[in-house]
Structure formats: structure tokens, C-alpha cells
Amino acid sequence: MNRIVNARLRDREGLFTLRWEAGLITAIEPQVDTGPASGPTSRPVDGAASATVSAAAADTAAETIDAAGNLVVPPLVEPHIHLDATLTAGEPRWNLSGTLFEGIACWAERKARVTAQDTKARAHETIRMLAAHGIQHVRTHVDVTEPGLGTLQAMLEVREEARPLVDLQVVAFPQEGIESYPDGRRLMIEAVEMGVDGVGGIPHFENTRDQGVSSVHFLMDLAVRHDRLVDVHCDETDDPHSRFLEVLAEATRVQGMGSRVTASHTTAMGSYDNAYCSKLFRLLKQAGLSFISCPTESIHLQGRFDTYPKRRGLTRVAELDQAGLNVCFAQDSIVDPWYPLGNGNILRILDAGLHICHMLGYEDLQRALDFVTDHSARALALGEGYGIEVGRPANLVVRSADSDYEVLRSQGGAQVSIRHGRVLMRKTLPEICWQDGRDARMPSPDAQGGRG
């Protein structure tokens, strides 16, 4: 039997003890109020309390983790990344225009000399960066516009090899098009036969509008026939005439596939006028598909053909959310031809996204983690494989702050990450050494507390 004590849970008052056995959560028990000693108010005013891990006296195989009043959450989710392309920025050249299309051209040069070993090494290194930030569920898009599909084979092996750290979903992503790339349809079919979890697309990149439309119908049919998830790079452009989302949403509605379909990016929606959006949103609600926004990626790649005023180039995250649609945030890139930065920390993406989307209102702050936890889990159709409930996998992360607001504000890191009941990773908080002799724990050096 293992347990976490003094855990704070999202959306629930008080402190809890969480127990698990054989990798599954067995109990979530409210703790009796032991006074301020167990609450966050007892914390040193100059910093967050550290979680501690100790072996229980009676049973050395068991561990007690003291969350010290900090938030315990299910693992963060990375719902959209390109692990086959990460850590390649500048190879063989840098994307100087900063556009999506130059990124695709740079990547075409890099992938011409990619090897399975190179792909696997970079993917594993990136997965470790993600896991170090408390992420345990990842969806990766793998470029299948490559004769031979060697990269896809390598990534399917990574999916198995990485199981101790993350659950990985692999989406067949036709980077250079389905209709516009030689043998594009055959490559997608082969990818599905090789065992991908999801089917992707890139209709805004196809040569013509008609090809964009037929690519969406093709990929939806393929997914239905083989019972796969769908996640389409859809309308990743500032062009307000790029309207493939309506095609994807209608096919989703007709098939009744809402819980299994995701539209990624949809940045053109930031350039649609309100009259079109009012009609579009009616369809989106009927379809019930999910949305993924990649805010750092899109603020970097979009708006490139504007002078001033300059568009933000993001989809309508707040409006989708207010309409009751499922929307979440993702990193998309880490040091690749499309985006030169990134370190695996999705809280950085959450911070940027909430800023860019005008979502720093009080209510937004109270539930900020929805956009990197529950909403993303729903987009990935994780179902009962996700969440802090009895009977579900004991995948639990102790953060270094006690609320969504404080995790966001202080970028409260993952202190302890537990996967299938075993401690996967522990971090100790760094110390600041002040010249005046005052020691403090990062990341909350604010003596006033600063909690909302």
C-alpha cells in the first residue's frame, strides 16, 4: 500500500490522503482538519513547501509522500507534438522567414537524410523532457510523406519503448499532403495498416481547395473503416478563406464521431468574420469535435504577412470554450524548423496561451489547468484511463503550489511524478541564496503570498 498525504485536489475543499495498490487508485479520503499546521498557511512565507517521500515504518516496501498542502493532479497531457522533427532546428538551415511553409521546406531537406536511429534518439530525448515536467500522455504527429515509412516504423517502436515514461499516441500526418504528394493516399493506408492510433491531414496545404476537401473525406473514411482517432492540422493559416474546418465538422457530425475527432490549429478562425463564425459554431456544437491550439507556435508562425495591425494568428480559444466546445493547449514543436525554442514545459505554453487569448480573468485563473489536463485528456479520448478517481491508474503528480492560479503564476513545477503506482521522478526545489542572508525556496519568493 502506498499513499500521498496532505494532498490538495482541484475543485475540492480540504486535504486528502490518496492510496493505491497494484497501480490503481484505491481510496481518496478527506483528512480531518488538523488545524493550520497541515494547510498552506503554515508554509514558510518565502516559498512553497517541498513534498517529501519516506518509507513507512511498518512496511519498507511502502512509501508515504507528503504533498505538504500542494496540489496533486493527474499527469499533464501533451496533446500535439511532432516528435519525429524535434531537436532539428538549423539542420540543414534555419527558417528565416518564420513561416509555416518555409518550415515545411526546411523539414523536407532534413528528412531526406533522417535515419531511424536519429529519429529514435531525438524522440526519446524529447519524451524525457516532457516527462520531467509531469507529462505522461502524449500525442505525436509523424510525417508519413516519406517513401518507405521508415520514420513511422521507428516511432511505432518508440511508442513501445517509451511506455515506462508516457502513453504515446501516434497519428499518421501527411506533412506534404494526401492528394498533392505522390502516392499520398497509399502512404496513409499503409500507415494505418502499420498500426497508428490516429489519422491526420493538412487540407490547407493541398494544391487546390477541391483537393483539400477530398483529402478530408478520404481521411475520415479511412478512420471510420479502421476505427482510428482523427486529428487534422486544419486551416493553419491566416487566410480567412481557408474553411476546411466546416468540411471536417460536417463529416464528423454525419459519422457521429465527435468524441474521436480533433481539429488542430484552426488558426484561420482568428481571421474569420463574426457572421461566418456564428454559423460555423452552430455546426461545431452539433459535431462535438475537440480543438487544440498551439499558442507559442501560432503566434510565431502566423501574422507573417501582416504589417500593422498584426494578427495574433490563434484560433478562438475563449469563444470555443464559452460555447461548451472542448479546447486545449499544446506545444507542437521543440527546437524544430517551425519553432526554435521549447523545453517540454507545457505550463509555459499555458501561460502564453492565456495571455494571447485574453484569458487572464479571475474565473479563467481558477481553472487554468483544465487546458493542459482534463480538456486534453478528452481530446485524446483517454476515458477512464485518466483522472483521480478510485479504480483508475495511479498516475499522479505533486505540483509545487496549491491551486491552479498559483501553479500558473509561479510556474509550479512537478515535484513528484507517480506512474502506475511507482515514483517515476522526483525534483527538489531550488534554493535562492540572498546576499542579505535570507534563504528562500523557489518558485514563490513573494512574502505577501500573492494568492488571489
Looking at beta carbons only, is 16 or 338 nearer to ligand 17E? 338
Distance CA 394, CA 18 (A): 9
Q: Verify whether residue 193 is a known catalytic residue.
A: no
Distance CA 66, CA 2 (A): 11
Can you tell me which of 7, 100, 149, 249 binds ligand 17E, judged by CB under 6 A?
A: 100
From the list 176, 236, 246, 297, the catalytic residue is 236
Distance CA 395, CA 418 (A): 5
Looking at beta carbons only, is 84 or 402 nearer to ligand 17E? 84
| Residues of this chain that bind Fe ion (CB under 5 A) | 332
Distance CA 69, CA 15 (A): 7
H or E segment to which residue 389 belongs = none
Binding mask 173-192 for ligand 17E (x = CB under 6 A): --x-----------------
Contact flag: residue 235 with ligand 17E (CB under 6 A): no
Contact flag: residue 139 with ligand 17E (CB under 6 A): no
All three cell numbers of 175, joined, read 506533412
Can you tell me which of 181, 281, 291, 338 binds ligand 17E, judged by CB under 6 A?
A: 338
333 binds, among ligand 17E, Fe ion, none (CB under 5 to 8 A by kind): ligand 17E
Binding mask 193-232 for ligand 17E (x = CB under 6 A): ---------x------------------------------
> Other CB atoms closer than 10 Å to residue 326's CB: what's the count?
21
Looking at beta carbons only, is 202 or 349 nearer to ligand 17E? 202
DSSP sequence for 79-133: EEE-TTTTT-TTSS---SS--HHHHHHHHHHHHTT--HHHHHHHHHHHHHHHHTT
196 binds, among ligand 17E, Fe ion, none (CB under 5 to 8 A by kind): none
Contact flag: residue 233 with ligand 17E (CB under 6 A): yes
DSSP sequence for 294-360: -HHHHHHHSSTT--SS-------HHHHHHTT-EEEE--B-SSBTTBS---S-HHHHHHHHHHHTT--
199 binds, among Fe ion, ligand 17E, none (CB under 5 to 8 A by kind): none
Looking at beta carbons only, is 297 or 404 nearer to ligand 17E? 297
Local structure of residue 204 (DSSP, 8 states): G
Q: CB burial class (10 A; 0-12, 13-18, 19+) of residue 384?
A: exposed
3-state secondary structure of 366: helix
Looking at beta carbons only, is 232 or 440 nearer to Fe ion? 232
Looking at beta carbons only, is 25 or 129 nearer to ligand 17E? 129
CB of 160 to Fe ion, least distance (A): 23
Contact flag: residue 236 with ligand 17E (CB under 6 A): yes
Contact flag: residue 333 with ligand 17E (CB under 6 A): yes
Residue type, 82: H
CB of 113 to ligand 17E, least distance (A): 18
For 74, residues 6+ apart whose C-beta sits below 8 A from its C-beta are 373, 374, 377, 386, 387, 388, 395, 396, 397
Residue 324 has phi, psi (to 5 degrees) of 85, 10
243 binds, among Fe ion, ligand 17E, none (CB under 5 to 8 A by kind): none
Catalytic residue numbers read: 236
- Residues of this chain that interact with ligand 17E (CB under 6 A) are 82, 100, 175, 202, 233, 236, 297, 332-333, 338
